[in-house]
Structure 1
């Protein structure tokens, strides 16, 4: 009888350990975090968030998740004090058993839900995560403590986010279009007003000011046939007139137009794809999966990359609206061929510098820091839009291809992309040097020993 009693105790203990292991496997799966970021990415896509606002959505959600991780892992440092205007974050209360991975997931979703629309769009997924954790064996008291702690982090991040002047820019004056030669005017087919002309007033996260890495002036507008400017104009036209299939693929792959307006006779309809920051969020997930990064490293990589995207757009928009440069399409239509159209659609804001060039180069510097300078990967992000994969030798290689896509697409001059790429490199390098998020000297990712689900 005594032997039977001890056997029952052993079996009960093993079942308990098994149950605990199950829920840790669920909440500790780094691919679950990648899927969660993709959930927000899909919301951003479906609701037509422009790239600059999308970068804000990703940044605050990922920072909220990161602060949960930093609270539970002494190898990671809070961004409070590193981002000088980020206040100290709430700390876990003594005696509370918290699953910090689940806290990170829930904080990401709650903040992501709050900064997007429609209201409550992510809350079904939020509840689904809690139910899945419970079904995987998480004890009720741990789940309750985790939710409570996650809520304090999310509330703190949302309160802090309200001081970035985003609300004020919603009611700022509209951009005034001038008729001066060389200045931006709306382009077909929508002839939309300038997008977010006051985005440079948004509070940066790591940069000291929006003009810290502002690019030098673009070539002077001059349509004399031997001028540097004219040569850049003709390069855009001649490239667009003789695109190879490979160049078309690159242009399509990095088009990343979140709202392309299609016009057919009297009919107009839109097609949607990821915006540039959404594309780079996907790339972080692809890299984390290939590197077999653990949960915390994955969250950190997403967070720092999203910071680079956010600050990159603020810097770029300062450059764009300081110089207010005309788009290639407008110049070519006015001075060379009124019927010429770029291969991809011209977005509604000034040309210099290229936004995709800036933010891609900034993201590439951060990701090179995490995953390595020669990280070969296959980008499958565009499969859902019917666009074939591309393989890159490194993140910097991908960033340069993203820059060139703007020349192939006919929407940017060479100076836009070269100087934009350089501006982004400076921003990314500065962020990597400024932020000390992990104790490891090189912060490179290591393979996780956790069991991973198929993704």
Structure 2
């Protein structure tokens, strides 16, 4: 690798990516096929026995891989600029040599292969690792027939250098940090382990991770939830009673919604990644690499910061789940439970809403507010596909499913929407992808 980098002169200086290396061969020349193939593999790994992945590992990989892809392609996108200097503590990026040709699909293939391999190294079996190598080599064989060896090597070297720098940056964000043991707070209204597994709280310190957008977490923290009360006349009791009644009266369509947005295996982030892939497929020949990489990066960044902000709020407020309150105050001795298993983390705000809102916002900005689609994410589980008139309709259903399924109070879904929309708005206000913005 050192030899390749020396031969093809990938600069180690921070530079201006405002101009392409070759104005005749731009990123927009190519279809989004390479990204689609890597998203497809990512989803397959999340759903297979070749990996032990979860929401946290997945969104961490998505966020940094999407930034790396964007940085590997932005020299071929003359209207766009690097995110270095804009994202939180992001290092300088290598500079594509001016007046030299790059094959942007090769850059993309190299950076996505490297990032997937680096992030999933400890979480996948040898079979999973082999699938990464197979996809990378298959695409490279095709690309070697499209360009000469010099261009191919230069492109691989550039993608490799971008991946190395982005991954090194990722290692410092708190994902691998050690933390002291956590004592679960006790008292009225405090979160307790939930049935049936009574599992320990999940990823307690995730809210301390470095956000990708400096200031985004502080800007999107929420007001306190409604005051806890056991009084049957209180607002809090009313919210819990709504959950109890909806769960007990759930009909077949409600059950279908809850199961569809259960998002097991893979998690909520993977569901929206699957929707993005389906949109790219629906776009057909209109899906070009530059736009796909841009949307992929915007989604990855906002999903990651929404996760950090959501987790900071969850453990900051540490509110009990409906299942705990209902069994204590509304239906004692009935062993009441949610329609699907309540996740093992505090109530407020709803994570599904916190992730769905920014995903819907980014996709709507890119493809339109009234983009109709049919979601086939869970065909492999034999769950019927669901059709939506817009991305926001899908996000609303995702949140509502958690109320009718007995997992969340409605105010937590509303708060999650507020947080997620705030993250998307923060990106629009503070991060500049286009030179003219």
Moved more, 153-162 or 206-215: 206-215
Alignment of 1:217-366 (within 5 A): 217-257=224-264, 273-291=265-283, 292-335=286-329, 336-337=331-332, 338-366=334-362
Alignment of 1:32-431 (within 5 A): 32-46=34-48, 47-94=51-98, 96-116=100-120, 117-118=123-124, 121=129, 122-134=132-144, 136-168=145-177, 171-257=178-264, 273-291=265-283, 292-335=286-329, 336-337=331-332, 338-431=334-427
Deviation at residue 206 of structure 1 after TM alignment: 1.5
Count of residues paired in the alignment: 400
Deviation at residue 78 of structure 1 after TM alignment: 1.1
State the Cα deviation string for residues 230-275 of structure 1 (Å, max 9, x = none).
1111111110001121111111111113xxxxxxxxxxxxxxx221
Deviation at residue 178 of structure 1 after TM alignment: 3.4
- Structure 1 stretches of 5 or more lacking a match? 1-23, 258-272, 442-455
Q: Matches of 1:198 and 1:392 in 2, distance apart? A: 35
Moved more, 74-83 or 354-363: 74-83
Partner SS state of residue 203, structure 2: coil
Deviation at residue 279 of structure 1 after TM alignment: 0.6
In the other structure, the counterpart of 1:15 is none
Aligned residues of 2:103 and 2:147 also touching (Cα < 8 A)? no
Partner SS state of residue 176, structure 2: helix
Deviation at residue 191 of structure 1 after TM alignment: 1.8
State the Cα deviation string for residues 90-131 of structure 1 (Å, max 9, x = none).
012356432122211220121122111337722332222212
Aligned residues of 2:54 and 2:266 also touching (Cα < 8 A)? no
Relative distance call for 1:123 and 1:174 in structure 2 (3 A) is farther
In the other structure, the counterpart of 1:28 is 30
Q: Matches of 1:99 and 1:390 in 2, distance apart? A: 38
TM-score normalised per structure 2: 0.87
Partner SS state of residue 166, structure 1: coil
State the Cα deviation string for residues 269-303 of structure 1 (Å, max 9, x = none).
xxxx2210011111112223333321110111111
TM-score normalised per structure 1: 0.83
State the Cα deviation string for residues 305-328 of structure 1 (Å, max 9, x = none).
111100001110011000101111
State the Cα deviation string for residues 175-197 of structure 1 (Å, max 9, x = none).
32233121111122322211111
Relative distance call for 1:49 and 1:294 in structure 2 (3 A) is same
Partner SS state of residue 391, structure 1: strand
RMSD across aligned C-alpha pairs, in angstroms?
Answer: 2.1
- Bigger radius of gyration among the two: 1
Deviation at residue 201 of structure 1 after TM alignment: 1.1
Q: Matches of 1:349 and 1:174 in 2, distance apart? A: 16
Aligned residues of 1:212 and 1:315 also touching (Cα < 8 A)? no
Partner SS state of residue 218, structure 2: coil
State the Cα deviation string for residues 50-86 of structure 1 (Å, max 9, x = none).
3233211111111111111102221222111221421
Aligned residues of 1:175 and 1:194 also touching (Cα < 8 A)? no
